[in-house]
């Protein structure tokens, strides 16, 4: 039941899954971790603890190897959830293949209108690059989404972090023209939140009236504020968001039980 004073008509519920890093080979592991099993365990938690879901957002690095089999394994996993899923690519993904698979099914959309909100899905991936960048096509998509949003509140989704996260090794691996994106959003009052993945850790900051959110991976976690690549012992997780009709946001991160799905100690080569 919703809390007193809140009805289902007041808001929509969004679940973010990110950085699942699936493989074509079911036996493959990422830093010793079974990414398919951890994704399924996260989905089990969503099903057990989220009584209502209106949309599922998958914010990149769906696969580790860009394989069609990996994407189909992801699709089969999220079909367990009772809401439509929409995805965007990350640096490990094949964006062309994701669009080919996703356009006919609704997985790939430029934006989604749900309740009083518009969710804009931007592609920050660059073929052959770990870092992200928005080309003119993505800025045009953003401009089109904002100019046609009407009275809707807006959430912008991408894979790469557009701000510094205080981690030296990840500093050059974010959105290379993040400041241009943020400058564009500074002038768009209807944009309330920017949501991303990529950093395999939790973040919740503000830039003026703009909420900046990042979410743990459904598999391996990265240590915060690290100079060099380092994993963490925190468990995989996901983010829930309540997007209210008046533009307010409630959100939180839920993780699996402590000690679940740890990478091999000292594993590297990500």
Per-residue pLDDT tens for 91-109? 999 999 999 999 999 999 9
Sequence-distant (6+) residues with CB within 8 A of 36 are 22, 23, 26, 73, 77
Measuring CA to CA, which residue among 208, 204, 207, 201 is closest to residue 241? 204
Q: What is the pLDDT of residue 164?
A: 96
Greater pLDDT, 187 or 133: 133
The pLDDT of residue 5 is above 70: no
pLDDT at 128 over 90: yes
Rg (CA), the chain: 17
pTM value is 0.95
Question: Looking at the domain that runs over 12-255, which CATH code has it been given?
Answer: 3.60.21.10
d(CA 216, CA 210) in angstroms, rounded, equals 20
Residue carrying structure tokens 């976690």: 221
Q: Is 170 exposed, middle or buried (0-12, 13-18, 19+ CB in 10 A)?
A: buried
Residue spans per domain, the chain? 12-255
Q: Which residues contact 94 (CB under 8 A, 6 or more apart)?
A: 63, 66
Q: How confident is the model at residue 192 (pLDDT cuts 50, 70, 90)?
A: very high
| Segment 146-174 mean pLDDT | 97
Reduced to 3 states (helix: H, G, I; strand: E, B; else coil), residue 153 is strand
């Amino acid at each position: 039941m919703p809390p007193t004073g809140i009805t289902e008509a007041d808001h929509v519920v969004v679940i973010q899954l990110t950085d699942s890093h699936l493989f074509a080979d079911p036996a493959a592991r990422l830093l010793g971790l079974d990414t398919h099993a951890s994704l399924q365990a996260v989905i089990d938690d969503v099903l057990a603890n989220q009584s209502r879901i209106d949309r599922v957002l998958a914010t990149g690095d769906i696969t580790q190897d860009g394989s069609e089999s990996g994407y189909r394994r992801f699709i089969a996993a999220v079909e367990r959830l009772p809401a439509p899923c929409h995805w965007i690519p990350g640096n490990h993904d094949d964006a062309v293949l994701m669009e080919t698979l996703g356009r006919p099914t609704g997985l790939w959309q430029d934006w989604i209108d749900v309740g009083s909100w518009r969710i804009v899905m931007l592609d920050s991936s660059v073929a052959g690059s770990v870092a992200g960048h928005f080309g003119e096509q993505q800025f045009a998509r953003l401009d089109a989404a904002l100019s046609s949003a009407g009275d809707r509140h807006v959430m912008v989704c991408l894979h790469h972090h557009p701000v510094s996260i205080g981690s030296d090794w990840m500093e050059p691996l974010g959105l290379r023209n993040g400041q241009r994106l943020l400058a564009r959003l500074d002038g768009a009052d209807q944009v309330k939140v920017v949501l991303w993945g990529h950093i395999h850790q939790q973040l919740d900051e503000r830039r003026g009236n703009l909420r900046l959110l990042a979410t743990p991976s459904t598999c391996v976690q990265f240590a915060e504020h690290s100079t060099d690549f380092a994993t963490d012992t925190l468990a995989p997780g996901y983010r829930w968001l309540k997007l209210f009709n008046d533009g307010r946001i409630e959100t939180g991160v839920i993780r699996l039980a402590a000690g679940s799905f740890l990478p091999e100690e000292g594993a590297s080569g990500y």
